[in-house]
Structure 1
Amino acid sequence: MHFSKVTTKSAKIILDSIKKSKNILLHLHPSPDGDSVGSTLAMYHFLKNIGKKVTLIKGDSSLPQYLSSLPGFQKISKKNFFQIDLNKFDLFLILDASSKSRISQTQKIIFPKKLITIVIDHHPFEGKFTDISLTNTSSSATCQLVYKLFQEWKAKITPKIAINLFIGIFHDTGGFKYFPMDYNSFNIISKLSKICPNFTDYIFEMENNNKPEEIFFKALALNSLKMYFKNNVVISALSLKKLQKNKLQHANKSNISNILKSVTGWNIGICIVEVEPNLCNLSMRTRDSKKYDLSKIATALGGGGHPTAAGAQVKKSLPQVKKLLLKTIQSLHPSLGQP
């Protein structure tokens, strides 16, 4: 059963499934961002408030510490999808993930027959893989869809819920800069800010949470730049060997791709980090999403995202990933010419 927007009917069907469930699973998608964490934590607080037993797992990736000030962050279990027993759950709420690859990319996912699965997301619908799906690409963030569901359910939006939704929308729109941020989104933000008036404290913590290692990571990443397609595409690529040599962990890749995107003339900025042998994470940003839809590039690589910002995790060596990436860009955007 698929719905393309929040209506009284779609909201009721989802709420009925929640009410019938006793033990509910939530998760974060690979390389979780503000919308993944915010929407999931908001739902976590709602479910706990109505007396449900809830388990929230981190999934494939390490937790994004720049979001550690969000209420409920410490409740996230440091387990991945295959370290839990799915048979213990009767409902799996899948937020901000529109395909099985956005649940986990480590193994094949098989749901137990008795497990009810529901997707709530604002990424493009990639086909039915759950019992119920609610996807709406005109929504600025999954947090916006969750807010609308709470409104339909007449749920009390507490300060803990409000700030998680606020930060999710703020983060996924690049600080209210990216489409489809519109008057509806600002209307919701206005209401959330009244419930949690100290929202600026959370924004400050999110944007000023760097550790010294992250600054050194940024320096290393910016020192590895190479330009392609007549300087239209700029790539920062860091090998695991280089990270280990400099005693660094992989940090927030989106910070690097955002910096690259900010340069006039560099239309696509990409950061690739080899996080394990034969496993690379990619973050992509563009200045011109109408001309360069990054979600299509990411999807071709097994990832996902939006036209403006997207990412992927690829099980190949760094040289192989770069080669595949350049080939994919050339295939989708032949007007760019040769790399």
Structure 2
Amino acid sequence: MNLEDIKAVGNLLAKPQKIVIVPHKNPDGDAIGSTLALWHYLKNRGQEVRIIAPNDFPKFLKWMPGNEQIMNFERENSQSKTLIEQATIIFTLDFNHLGRIGQMEPVLKESDATFIMIDHHQAPSDYAQYMYSDVLMSSTCEMVYNFIEFLGDDDKITPEMANCIYTGIMTDTGSFKYSSTTSRTHTIVAALIDKGAENTKAHNLVYDTNTPTRLHLLGCALKNMVILKEYNTAYITLSQDELDTYDYQKGDTEGFVNYGLTLHGICFAVIFIENKEEGIIKISFRSEGNFSVNEFARKHFNGGGHTNAAGGRSDVSLQETTEYFISLLKDYKTQLNA
């Protein structure tokens, strides 16, 4: 964020505002952690501020301080619309295109509020008046820490804020193993622990609260894994029937796609998940090295994200989607075998 924008945002926040904070649809740890940390910060500055999420978020994130204050646009539609209409500032966190917020998109497009984007994904759109966009950042939570520091308030980070920011960084870096984890990331994490982040507790509450049905679903997913050695690729499919059999709950498939990359020699891993309610196949892509799943998802599956982690979707059947996916790989054989 440049100095001019920092001063402008600082001047805005020096006055009483009606603020709404919005994460992307199906919010993950980084989205929830960053919005909650910013909510605590702005509330402590005396601002009138609410978080409105497009839909629900996983149970393993519902321990974070303030999570009960997050409104669900699907369930609290009328009240959410009123708050958005009244907002003077709207922060959008962990996404950079209004298409990522589902049915909230037309409501936000009608708003006259000042938009402030904080995000680390590629190819941002231009809906925000003030943009803090940096694809080199490990997470939006790391950027929220920087944002608070830009405003000269890092000494005002409370234990509640520290726990939220820590959790978002932890989840979006794969517990600090992804290449986006820098020395700066670790410096911030150390500062967060000093400020009250309970790192062991956060890890346990996010990763060690499995249900038997989730582990059974993981077993089903691993049994369904297909390995395409010719392309150093592995993919997993989960049908709606399989999800129903194992009592799928939101967030249960989080991290499943990464198991493909634990196989020796595999550099491209994908999971295809059928969602009959929405009539789509949800897709997650992961890679190692220089193979850009962001470009792959944008070109073929109406998606995008980061170089090594992206998402997409398909409007045809699970079988048709996987067949199409396999047909594409021959064009990427050289890259996948580099």
AA aligned to 1:281 is K
Q: 2:5 aligns with which of 10, 31, 42?
A: 10
8 Å CA contact 1:46–1:161 kept in 2: the answer is yes
Q: Could you say which residue in structure 2 is the equivalent of 1:274?
A: 274
Q: 1:103 to 1:251 in 2, by over 3 A?
A: closer
2:102 is paired with a residue whose SS is: coil
Q: Aligned residue for 2:176?
A: 176
* Corresponding residue SS for 2:32: helix
Amino acid at match of 2:334: S
Aligned AA for 1:318? L
Give the conservation status (yes or no) of the 8 Å contact 2:28–2:57: no
Show the 5 A alignment for 1:1-339.
Answer: 6-20=1-15, 22-60=17-55, 62-80=56-74, 83=77, 84-85=80-81, 86-104=84-102, 111-155=109-153, 156-196=156-196, 198-228=198-228, 230=230, 232-249=232-249, 251-277=251-277, 278-286=279-287, 288-290=288-290, 292-300=291-299, 301-327=301-327, 329-331=329-331, 333-335=332-334
Distance in 1 separating the partners of 2:5 and 2:75: 27
Cα distance in 1 for residues equivalent to 2:150 and 2:219:
47
Q: Distance in 2 between matches of 1:146 and 1:119?
A: 11
Specify the SS of the correspondent of 2:72. Answer: coil
Measure the CA separation in 2 of the matches of 1:17 and 1:281. 39
Does structure 2 retain, via aligned residues, the 8 Å contact 1:297–1:328? no
Contact 1:59 1:81 in 2 (8 A): no
Contact preservation (8 Å) 1:253, 1:282: no
- Cα 1:107–1:147 change in 2 (3 A) is closer
Q: Which amino acid in the other structure matches residue 117 of structure 1? A: F
Q: 1:39 is matched by which residue type in structure 2?
A: S
**Which protein is richer in helix relative to its size?**
2
CA distance in 2, matches of 1:46, 1:92: 15
Q: CA separation in 2, counterparts of 1:212 and 1:150?
A: 40
* Distance of 1:326 and 1:47 partners within structure 2: 48
The residue aligned with 1:3 is none
- 1:29-81 Cα deviation digits (max 9, x unpaired): 13322211111111011111112222212314x31222222111222122249
How many angstroms does 1:329 deviate by? Answer: 4.9
Q: Is the 8 A contact 1:279 1:316 kept in 2?
A: yes
- Asked whether the 8 Å contact 1:56–1:75 carries over to 2, the reply is yes
Q: Is the 8 A contact 1:34 1:67 kept in 2?
A: yes
> Does the C-alpha gap of structure 1 residues 50 and 274 become closer, same or farther in structure 2, counting only changes over 3 Å?
same
Give CA-to-partner distance per residue, 1:214-243, whole Å, 9 cap, x none.
111111111212233625221111111232
1:268-304 Cα distance to aligned partner (Å, 9 max, x none): 1211111224222222222x231x1122223332333
| 1:249, distance to aligned residue in structure 2 (A) | 4.1
User: How big is the shift at 1:336?
Assistant: 6.4
TM-score (norm 1): 0.87
- Cα deviation, residue 132, structure 1: 2.0
Match for 1:244: what amino acid?
A: D
Q: Could you tell me how far apart the structure 1 residues matched to 2:259 and 2:46 are? A: 44
Gaps of 5+ in 2: none
**Stretches (4+) displaced over 4 A:** 105-110, 327-331
Segment drifting more, 42-51 vs 77-86? 77-86
- Alpha-carbon distance in 2 for matches of 1:296, 1:81: 34
**How big is the alpha-carbon RMSD for the aligned residues of Structure 1 and Structure 2?**
2.6
**Bigger mean CA offset, 210-219 vs 322-331:** 322-331
- In structure 1, stretches of 5+ residues that fail to align are 1-5
Q: Judge conservation of contact 1:229–1:336 (CA < 8 Å) in 2.
A: no
The structure-2 alpha-carbon separation of the partners of 1:240 and 1:70, relative to structure 1 and needing over 3 Å to count, comes to same
C-alpha contact 2:231 2:329 (8 A) present in aligned 1: no
Q: Distance in 2 between matches of 1:328 and 1:26?
A: 39
User: Compared with structure 1, are the counterparts of its residues 323 and 51 closer, same or farther at alpha carbon in structure 2 (3 Å cutoff)?
Assistant: farther
Shift of 1:112: 2.1
Distance 1:107 1:120, change over 3 A: closer
Match of 1:24, SS state, is strand
Structure-2-length-normalised TM-score = 0.87
